[in-house]
Amino acid sequence: MNQGSCGFAGRSVLLIGAGCALGRVLARLYANAGARVVVIDNDEDQLLTIAKQNRDQISTLRLNCLDATQLTNFINIWSDEPLDALVHLQPLRHLGAQGRGIASIVRLTEGLAPALARGQGRVLILYRGTTSTTSLQKRALSPAWDRLSNLLSGQFSGDGLRVNALRLNAGAGESVSGRQVVESALMLTQPRPSEITGAVLHLGADTD
């Protein structure tokens, strides 16, 4: 994808749980395309590594995105400052806390909805599909992940938000390049008119 044509110059992008491999790649691509990127994670070393990719465009905030109190404090600080894209990476960053990840995504999307409504209102959720070897607990939550973008879209469509998801099935995004994944993420968060909302784009072979 031609980064210069994405229209991210001067836009604000917030990456939650950015300390995973895809978070590092997305932060660099958004920043290189001219966006003002804020990355949130609980690992200071990961944040420093991400920031080094483009110090002028990437800001960092150390925060536990699964902690309800810290999330509320952050939402109050951000207030209604325009936000163009909110990218949820919690499901990839915290594989052992999927239920809390869902709660975090709902809380942040709801709390930042006024800011998103003042910006371009793009929300993207990235999560992994399950396989026959996935734990029973995670497989039980799979239907909730598959419905989450549609539920949030219905809740906030009146505010102009566009909420979509990328389901990474077996083989999708395993490498830090993950070209198909990052290109799909950029496409779904581009600040241009779009009616796509509530969609789940499956990447990779679905073996569930």
C-beta of residue 185 within 8 angstroms of C-beta of residue 149 = no
Q: Name the pLDDT band for 188 (thresholds 50, 70, 90).
A: very high
- Tell me the mean pLDDT in the region 4-25: 89
Helix (H, G, I), strand (E, B) or coil at 184: helix
- What is the arrangement of strands in the sheet containing 58-62, beginning at the earlier edge strand? 58-62, 36-41, 12-16, 85-88, 122-128, 162-168, 200-203
The residues, ordered by sequence, that sit 6+ positions from 116 with a Cβ below 8 Å of its Cβ are: 83, 84, 86, 109, 122, 123, 156, 159, 160, 161
| pLDDT at 4 (0 to 100) | 44
Tokens of 22: 């895809």
Helix (H, G, I), strand (E, B) or coil at 94: coil
Least confident of 5-14, 87-96, 170-179, 193-202: 170-179
The two beta strands, 122-128 and 85-88, are parallel
| pLDDT at 174 (0 to 100) | 53
Q: What would the pLDDT profile of 75-121 be if each residue is shown by its tens digit?
A: 999 998 999 999 999 999 998 898 999 999 999 999 999 999 999 99
| pLDDT at 208 (0 to 100) | 56
Question: Which helix (H) or strand (E) is 22 found in, with range?
Answer: helix 21-32
Which CATH code is given to the segment(s) 3-203? 3.40.50.720
| pLDDT at 155 (0 to 100) | 95
C-beta of residue 11 within 8 angstroms of C-beta of residue 36 = yes
- Residues 151 and 166: their CA atoms lie apart, in Å, by 15
Provide the whole-model pTM: 0.92
Query: How many other CB atoms sit within 10 Å of the CB of residue 44?
Result: 11
